[in-house]
């Protein structure tokens, strides 16, 4: 049996997927990013191999993606995260025509054509507003882990309108609202609203078509899913492994290469 790996080096977390030659996922791993992207890639690779009970020489082909993809020294091929996210979303939800991916430092809207090709995309990687970082600011200001934000926001009955665009100023605004006596859930819901509105306009820019798949770390946030469905007026596909969409897509590209008869240089030279 031969195996392939997909490594997604994001701004906030490194994700790894190992698949067998039939496309079955046999191992996955996720780690918080560290300063050195190369080291983070190495560590997530070791972790995913350990989870799959494999050694590096079992991996016939590795595709790296994400913003740190060129720092994955053991990668055989680099594929953009746009292609990988589209591929990953299609694998899980074949009817996907629009992908929204909200990551730690960027937000992407991807439009997929009927034959599965990427026809358009829009991306915000210049400004932290409308990315996961905006929730990071909320988590910092409210001194609360990211995973608690969604459930708490859903308790809101009177959301506060967040008027600032900039994440830096929003932090100040949140503290100001709390000081004025607004409830944390109401302030939080306001922050979620702000992100949802921004992301929805990104989706509209690529021309939304059903089905819509929501991926990236922020898709684990229940309030965000509910709000986006409301703003976009469409149900969203959310995978239980939505954080791994990019890595799954990368592994599928690796599988293509394997099936085309290509093997990792590392394996052929026996350096692993």
Partner 1 sequence: MILSVGIDIGSTYTKAVMMDDTKQVCATAICRSGYKPASAAAAVFEDLVANAGVTKEEVTYIATTGYGRYMVPFRHTQITELTCHALAIAYHFPSVRTILDIGGQDIKAIRIDEHGRVRAFRLNDKCAAGTGAFLEKTARYLGLTTDDIGPYALRSTKPVEVSSVCAVFAESEVINHLSTGIPPEDIMQGAITALAGRAVQLMKRVGLEADYALAGGMTQNQAMIEAIVAKLGSPLNLPPHGLGQLNGAFGAALLGMRRAEKLLAEGQSIPAPGGEHAHESSANSPRRWSMYMPASIIYEDSTKSLVKGTPLKVIPSRQG
Site membership for partner 1, residue 140 (CB under 8 A):
no
Q: How far is the CB of 22 from partner 1 (least distance, A)?
A: 38
Helix axes 167-179, 184-205, angle to 10 degrees: 150
Residue of 79, 137, 188, 225 interacting with partner 1 (CB under 8 A)? 137
Q: Which residues contact 24 (CB under 8 A, 6 or more apart)?
A: none
> Binding to partner 1 by residue 105, rule CB under 8 A?
yes
169 counts as binding partner 1 under rule CB under 8 A: yes
Q: Is 167 near partner 1 (CB under 8 A)?
A: yes
Q: Does 181 bind partner 1 (CB under 8 A)?
A: no
Q: Are the CB atoms for 192 and 223 separated by under 8 Å?
A: yes
Nearer to partner 1, 96 or 131 (CB): 131
Query: What's the closest the beta carbon of residue 107 comes to partner 1, in angstroms?
Result: 13
Which region, judged by CB under 8 A, interacts with partner 1, from 44-52, 57-65, 157-165, 264-272? 157-165
240 contacts partner 1 (rule: CB under 8 A): no
Distance (Å, rounded) from C-alpha 191 to C-alpha 159?
9
Decide whether 54 or 199 has the Cβ nearer to partner 1.
199
Of 10 and 246, CB closest to partner 1 = 10
Q: Does 168 bind partner 1 (CB under 8 A)?
A: yes
We find the least distance from the C-beta atom of residue 177 to partner 1, in angstroms, to be 10
126, 145, 157, 240: residue in contact with partner 1 (rule CB under 8 A) = 126
Shortest spacing between CB 159 and partner 1, in angstroms: 19
Tokens 């599988």 locate to 255
Q: Which residues bind partner 1 (CB under 8 A)?
A: 11, 35-36, 105, 126-128, 133, 137, 163-169, 172, 175-176, 179
């Amino acid at each position: 049996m031969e195996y392939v790996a997909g490594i997604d080096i994001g701004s906030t977390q490194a994700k790894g997927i190992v698949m067998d030659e039939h496309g079955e996922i046999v191992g996955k791993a996720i780690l918080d990013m560290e300063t050195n992207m190369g080291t983070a890639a190495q560590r997530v690779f070791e972790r995913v191999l350990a989870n799959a009970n494999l050694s590096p020489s079992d991996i016939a082909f590795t595709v790296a993606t994400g913003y740190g993809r060129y720092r994955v020294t053991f990668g055989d091929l680099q594929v953009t995260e746009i292609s990988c996210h589209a591929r990953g979303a299609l694998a899980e939800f074949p009817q996907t025509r629009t992908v929204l991916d909200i990551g730690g430092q960027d937000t992407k809207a991807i439009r997929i054509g009927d034959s599965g090709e990427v026809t358009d995309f829009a991306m915000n990687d210049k400004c932290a507003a409308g990315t996961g970082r905006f929730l990071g600011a909320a988590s910092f200001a409210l001194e609360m882990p990211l995973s608690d934000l969604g459930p708490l926001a859903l308790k809101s009955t009177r959301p506060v309108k967040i008027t600032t665009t900039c994440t830096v100023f929003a932090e100040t605004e949140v503290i100001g609202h709390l000081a004025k006596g607004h409830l944390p859930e109401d302030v939080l819901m306001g922050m979620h609203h702000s992100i949802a509105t921004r992301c929805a306009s990104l989706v509209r820019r690529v021309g939304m078509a059903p089905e819509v798949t929501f991926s990236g770390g922020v898709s684990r946030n229940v309030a965000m899913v509910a709000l986006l469905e409301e703003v976009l007026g469409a149900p969203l596909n959310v995978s239980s492994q939505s954080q791994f969409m990019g890595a799954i897509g990368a592994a599928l590209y690796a599988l293509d290469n394997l099936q085309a008869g290509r093997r990792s240089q590392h394996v052929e030279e026996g350096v692993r």
